[in-house]
Amino acid sequence: MIVHMVRVRLAGPSARLDDVLAFVQRLGVLHVVRPEVLESLTGAAQHARAARHCRRLLDDVEFAYTTLGLTRPPSAPVAPASLPRAARFARRVRRQAAKLAKQKISLEDERVMLLRYREFFSAFESLIGHELAWPDGQAFYVVLRAGAVSAVQELRKSLVKAVGEEIELLDRPLPSGEIAVLILVSNTSAPKVAKLLSESRVQELPAPAGLGEKNLLRAMPALRARLAELPRALETTAAERRRLAEVSGQELTALRTWLHDQLLVIDARAKVHAGKHLFVLEGWLPEVQREQLTTLSGKELGPEIVVEVLATEQWQGDNAPVALSNPPLFRPFEVVTRMLPLPRYGSIDPTPFVAIFFPAFFGLMLGDVGYGLMLAIIAVVLRFKSKPGTTLRAVSAVGGACAAGSVLFGVLFGELFGNLGHVVGMKPLWFNREEAIVPFLALSVALGVVHITLGLVLAVITSWRRGKTREALGRSVAVLMVLFTVVALLAAFEQLPRALFTPFVVALLVAFPVLIALEGIVALIELLSTFGHILSYARIMALGTASLMLAVVANKMVGAMGSVVVGVVFALLFHLVNFAIGVFSPTIHALRLHYVEFFGKFFSPGGVEYRPLSTWRDHQKHGT
- Residue 538 near other proteins by CB under 8 A: yes
Q: Which residues of 453-475 are buried (b: 16+ CB within 10 A; e: fewer)?
A: bbbbebbbebbeebeeeebbbbb
Strand-pairing partners, residue 139, are 184
Nearer residue to other proteins within complex by CB, 93 or 548: 548
The residues facing 142 across adjacent strands are 181, 204
CA 109 – CA 62 distance, rounded (Å): 25
Q: How far apart are CA 175 and CA 276, in angstroms?
A: 80
Smallest distance from the beta carbon of 543 to other proteins, in angstroms? 8
Q: How far apart (Å, rounded) are the C-alpha atoms in residues 328 and 323?
A: 15
| Contact with other proteins (CB under 8 A) among 478, 543, 551, 613 | 543
Give the contacts of 119 (CB within 8 A, at least 6 positions apart). 174, 175, 176
Stretch that binds other proteins, among 135-143, 195-203, 357-365, 537-545 (CB under 8 A): 537-545
Q: Which of 539, 575, 601, 619 binds other proteins (CB under 8 A)?
A: 539
Query: Rounded distance, CA 118 to CA 226, Å?
Result: 12
Kindly state whether residue 432 participates in binding other proteins, applying the rule CB under 8 A.
no
Give the binding range for other proteins (CB under 8 A) out of 290-298, 299-307, 590-598, 605-613.
590-598
Decide if 135 contacts 189 (C-beta within 8 A): no
- CB contact set of 28 (below 8 Å; sequence gap of 6+): 612, 613, 614, 615, 618
| Interface residue with other proteins, options 546, 550, 572, 608 (CB under 8 A) | 546
Rounded CA-CA distance 137/216 in Å is: 15
Q: Which is nearer to other proteins, 288 or 535 (CB)?
A: 535
Instruction: Identify the three-state secondary structure at position 186.
Output: strand
381 sits near other proteins (criterion: CB under 8 A): no
Considering only residues 174, 511, 595, 604, which one is a binding residue for other proteins as defined by CB under 8 A? 595
b/e per residue 196-232 (b: at least 16 CB within 10 A): bbeeeebeeeebbeeeebeebbbbbeebeebbeebee
Site for other proteins in 328-347 (CB under 8 A): 339-340
Assess 435 for contact with other proteins (CB under 8 A). yes
**Residue closer to other proteins, measured from CB, 234 or 591:** 591
Question: Shortest approach of other proteins to residue 337 CB, angstroms?
Answer: 11
Counting contacts by CB under 8 A, is residue 542 touching other proteins? Answer: yes
- Shortest spacing between CB 588 and other proteins, in angstroms: 5
Q: Is 308 in the site for other proteins (CB under 8 A)?
A: no
Residues 454 and 533 sit within 8 Å (Cβ to Cβ): no
Position 536 contacts other proteins (CB under 8 A): yes
**C-beta of 279 vs 537, nearer to other proteins:** 537
For the chain, how many residues are written? 624
- Residue 591 makes contact with other proteins by CB under 8 A: yes
Residue 553 in contact with other proteins, rule: CB under 8 A: no
Q: How far is the CB of 596 from other proteins (least distance, A)?
A: 6
Q: How big is the chain by its Cα radius of gyration, in Å?
A: 38
Q: Verify binding: residue 592, other proteins, rule CB under 8 A.
A: yes
Q: How many residues bind other proteins (CB under 8 A)?
A: 21
Positions in the binding site for other proteins (CB under 8 A): 339-340, 435, 437-438, 441, 535-536, 538-539, 541-543, 545-546, 588-589, 591-592, 595-596
